[in-house]
Structure 1
Amino acid sequence: MSDILTVTLNPTVDLSTSAPSISAGPKLRCTTPKADPGGGGINVSRAIRFLGGDSTAFIATGGETGARLLRLLAAEGVKFTAFSVTGDTRQSIAVTDSGTGEQYRFVMPGPYWNADMVDEALSAIDSAAARDGIVILSGSQPPGVPVDFPARLSNRLSSHGGRLFVDTSGEPLHLLVREPANTSVLRMDDVEAEDLAGRALPTRLDTADFATSLVERGIAENVIIARGADGSTLANSTGRWHCSRAVDPAEVVSAVGAGDSFVGAFSLALARDEDIVDALKFGTAAASAAVITEGTDLCSAENVARFLPGCELTTL
C-alpha cells in the first residue's frame, strides 16, 4: 500500500488538439487528438510517478470512457484502484488556436451520483488509505456529491491518523472555510482566495495575511495559495513563506497541469519526510516545469531539477 492515496471523484479522458484558427460557423479541421488520463487526483498521481515517486490513484469510473481511462493509466505505470459508478466517465477537450496560441477548454459535468454511491465511496477511500498516510482530494465533484464531502472524508480519516490534503474550488471550498474540517493542507489559487476574502490580494504579504487568518481560524494546519506566475505562498502556525517560480515567461506554453504538478511534488516531498518549506520549493519547481509543456502534459523530473535551484524562497 502506498503512503499517498489520490482521490478523483470526477475523472476525465482529456483530449487535446489544435486548429489553424478558431471561429464560430465553419468546420474546424483539427490535428490528431492526444488522449491523456485527467482529473485533479489522477494528475497528481501522474506527476508523482514522473518524479520517481509512488502513489495509488482512487478513481471513480464508469462506461467505455472509464475503461479507456484505466488503460491510459496502466500504460503510464500509475497504480490505481477503481471504484465503479453508474454512468459514463466524462471527456474534456482542449483546442489550441495555432494562429494565436489561445487555448479553448471544454469541460463536461460527469455522471450523477446518488447517496448510496457517496457512502460507498467514503468507505472505499477509507479502506484504501494507508494508516497515518496522505490522502489527496483534488478536482471537481460530480453532480449529486454533497458539498460537505471533504468534511465527511476528513472525519473518516482522522480516526486512524490520516492526513487529508484538499485542492478544490467552488461551494465545497467555501463550505470548508465556513465549517472547518480539520484538514492538514488546503490549497487554492489566487482567484479563489480573493473570492473567499472578498477583496483583492495584490501583494505576497496580502496573500500571506489571508492564509494566516485561515490557519488561525482552524480551517487547515497549512494553507497554500498559488499566485499564478508569481509562485505560491504557504502559511502555518510556525511561519509564512513564499516561493517564486523560476521559469522565463518566454518559455511558458500552457498553465494547464501546473497546480496538479505542484501538489504531486509537494506531497511526495512530505511523504519522504522532507521539511514543509523544502516541499514548498519542490512543488514550485514542479509547477515551473509544467508550464513549459504543451496541452495536458505535466512536469518532468529533468525540468524540475533544472528549475529547483532558481526557485527563490522568502520568509514573510
Structure 2
Amino acid sequence: MIVTLTPNPSLDRALDVETLELGEVNRAVAAHVDPGGKGINVSRALVAQGVASTAVLPTGGADGAHLVALLAEVGVPVVAVPVTGATRSNFTLVERGRGTTKVNAPGAPLAPAEVDALLAAVEGQLALGPRALVGAGSLPAGAGADLFARVAALAGRHGVPLVLDTSGPALAAAVRAGGLDLVKPNDEELAELVGRDLVTVGDVVDAAREVIARGTASVLVSLGAHGALLVRGEGSWWAGGPPLVPASTVGAGDTTLAGYLADERPDAAPADRLRTAVAWGRAAVLLPGTATPTPADVHLDEVRVLPEPDRRLALKELS
C-alpha cells in the first residue's frame, strides 16, 4: 500500500481546441473532467496499474464532493478531511499538436485546526504501515511552508519512507529538515532549489548530490521530453525514449513518480525502477486530459537506460 497526501487538490477541467485564438471565442472539440492534484494523480496511476494506494486530501463544497465521487469511480480509496473552503478547479487548454496552456487556481486557505486534522488523518494511515507515503503538490494558504517537513517527521516516527514532489519554499523547507527517501523535482524546480541554472547533465547531478548531502536518499529529476535522471549515493542513471507527439502533458510527471514507486521489491534495481517510471510517464502524455495509463499503454521496450550519462551533455541533447 502507498499512501498519498495532496494538501491542495483540484478538479482538473481540460478543453481540447484545434487552435487557441487569444481574445476570441474558441470552440472546444472535446472536454474532460478528472480528479486533480499531484498526490491524487500518483494514486490514480498506481491503482490503474493494480498497485494499492489510498489518497488523503482536504475536501470542501460541491467540487470537493465531485472529486471524491470521481476517485471512487476509478477505485481509489479516499480519506477525505472536511474543510470550510471549496475545493478548487484547475483549467487546461490543449491545442492539438501545439501544446498545453494550464491555469491553476490558488486553492482555499486552510485554518490551523484543518491543518491539524489533515496531519491526524495522515498519521492514522501511517499507523497502518504503508510501504511509502507520498507528499505532493502545492500548499494552500494557511498550510505553512513547513507542512511537508512536519509530515516527514511523522513518517520518520512511524518508520515509513517519505517521497516528496513539490517546489519552492515547501521543497526547500523539507530538504533542509532532511529525512526524505526521495524527492522528484523537474530541472527548473531543482535549479530554483540550488539557486543556479542547470544546463548540462553534470549540473543536474551535482545539484542532486547537494540535496542528497542534506539528508535525502535519492533524487529523481524529470526532464520533460528529454527523459529523467535518477541520482543516488551509489550512482546516476538517465532514461528516455523516442520523441512523442503529446496529447496532454498534465500529470505526466506524477505518473512518472508512480511508475518509480510501483515495484514492490525492496531490492529492485534503480535502473529498472527508472525504466518503469519513464515508460509510465511516456504513456501518460499520449492520453487526453489527466487520464491515467493502463498496463496495455505502457511500453518498457521503448525506454533506454544509460548508467552514468556523460556529464558534458546538455540536457536538451538527451534523447
Partner residue, 2:155 = 157
TM-score (norm 1): 0.90
Q: CA deviation at 1:270?
A: 4.4
Picking from 49, 57, 60, the partner of 2:58 is: 60
Write the mapping of 1:134-153 to structure 2, written as runs, cut at 5 A.
134-153=132-151
Say whether the 8 Å CA contact 1:4–1:271 is kept in structure 2: no
User: Once the 2 structures are TM-superposed, how far is the Cα of residue 74 of structure 1 from its aligned partner?
Assistant: 1.0
Deviations 1:211-265 (A, max 9, x none): 11221232x111111122222112222222222x22433x333322211111111
Q: RMSD between aligned alpha carbons?
A: 2.0
Residue 45 of structure 2, aligned match among 44, 47, 52 = 47
- 194-203 vs 86-95, greater mean Cα deviation: 194-203
Q: Which residue of 2 aligns with 1:314?
A: 307
Q: 1:247–1:307: 8 Å Cα contact kept in structure 2?
A: no
Alignment of 1:47-196 (within 5 A): 47-98=45-96, 101-129=98-126, 130-131=128-129, 133-177=131-175, 179-196=176-193
Residue in 2 aligned with 1:292?
Answer: 286
CA distance, structure 1, for counterparts of residue 57 and residue 130 of structure 2: 21
Distance 1:52 1:132, change over 3 A: closer
Displacement of 1:274? 2.5
**1:310/1:32 CA distance change after superposition, 3 Å:** closer
Corresponding residue number in structure 1 for 2:10: 12
Counterpart of 1:235 in 2: which secondary structure? strand
Structure 2 counterpart of 1:200: 197
**Aligned pair in 2 of structure 1 residues 40, 125: CA closer, same or farther (>3 Å)?**
same
Normalised by the length of structure 2, the TM-score is 0.90
Structure 2 distance, partners of 1:272, 1:91, is 37
Inter-partner Cα distance in structure 2 for 1:186 and 1:282: 17
Q: Secondary structure at the match of 1:77?
A: coil
On the 8 A contact 1:169/1:192 being kept in 2, the answer is yes
> Does residue 277 in structure 1 map to residue 277 in structure 2?
no
> What's 1:246 paired with?
241
User: 1:110 Cα deviation (Å)?
Assistant: 1.1
Decide whether the 8 Å contact of 1:204 with 1:242 is kept in 2: no
Shift, 1:132, TM fit: 5.7
Is this contact kept in 1: 2:4–2:43, CA < 8 A? yes
Equivalent residue of 1:166, what SS?
strand
Q: How many Å apart are 1:20 and its aligned residue?
A: 4.3
Alignment check: 8 A CA contact 1:150 1:181 kept: no
Q: How many pairs are equivalent?
A: 308
Q: Is contact 1:109–1:142 with CA below 8 Å preserved after alignment?
A: yes
2:250 maps to 256
Contact between 2:275 and 2:300, CA under 8 Å: does it hold in 1?
Answer: no
- The one of 16, 27, 44 equivalent to 2:25 is 27
Q: Which amino acid aligns with 2:241?
A: A
> Are 1:229 and 2:225 counterparts?
yes
